[in-house]
Amino acid sequence: MLQSVFEGKAAEIYSALPSEKSSDYDTVKQEVLKAYELVPEAYRQKFRSYKKFDSQTYVEFARKKKDLFDKWLTSKKTDNNFDNLRQLMLLEEFKQCVNLDLKTHLDDKTVGTIHDAAVISDNYTLSHKRSFKGQNVNTSSGNYKNQNTERTDSKPVAQNKSQSSYNMSSPKFDTFEKKSLICAYCKKNGHLMADCFRLQKKNERDNKPKSSACTTPYITSTLECPASQAF
């Protein structure tokens, strides 16, 4: 009887079921809803991601939000029970705080309470501890390698002596900042002593080699002949 009611994808799902499952109403309903992605997780995502349209009034938006929330609760079979609703909210928040692999693992399980989710998460972590540890070692070695590379590459670069600590030609160095500089040598504004033209000229003169002329004094001596040797 159900086969005559179903159309399209639902009819394909129903015809693909074994004979023992096709006669079970709950099984057929679950498979059809799953095919149309009308499962609790799909309802939850629709409720959380639904935003107000510009053409909607806030009353219409609130009604749509409420309908999606009710469908989510119905799919989770909370039965308007406070404790079931409490566990649903806690479980959702718990899944938001774990990594993606663990969240996918929890979604594949039938988890009803946050305690069950915590136990399953601990078991999952213990079973994957070896692989997680290997990833941490690889990551650490990679970081250590990067640190060594940075230390090797970061060699001190010799700074040009003629380059001032201030880049005077930079556009960011405006006129006001130039005027605020005072040279310690010539006492003039607009530059520092490292860029002082007068100081540079003075250093050039001081460093210029001087010609040292060595003069030998000419000494004349008069030799007097004794009278006995005179011709």
For the chain, the domains span: 79-135, 175-206
- Yes or no: say if 111 and 91 are a contact pair by the CB < 8 Å rule: yes
Angstrom distance (rounded) from CA 199 to CA 10: 93
Q: Exposure of 44 by Cβ count < 10 A (0-12 exposed, 13-18 middle, 19+ buried)? A: buried
Angstrom distance (rounded) from CA 206 to CA 183: 20
Partnered with residue 10 across adjacent β-strands are none
pLDDT at position 82 is: 92
Q: What is the pLDDT of residues 13-69, one digit of tens each?
A: 667 677 777 777 777 777 776 666 567 888 888 999 999 999 999 999 999 999 999
Please give the single-letter amino acid code of residue 94: F
Mean pLDDT of 192-200: 83
Q: How many Cβ atoms from other residues are within 10 Å of residue 43's Cβ?
A: 21
Helix (H) / strand (E) element for 141: namely helix 129-153
In which residue are the tokens 């709950």 written? 26
Collapsing DSSP states into helix, strand and coil, what is residue 202?
A: helix
DSSP 8-state class, residue 39: S
Torsion of the alpha carbons at 217, 218, 220 and 221, rounded to the nearest 10: 50
pLDDT at 213 over 90: no
Task: Assign 196 a pLDDT band (cuts: 50, 70, 90).
Answer: confident
pLDDT at 80 over 70: yes
pLDDT at position 4 is: 58
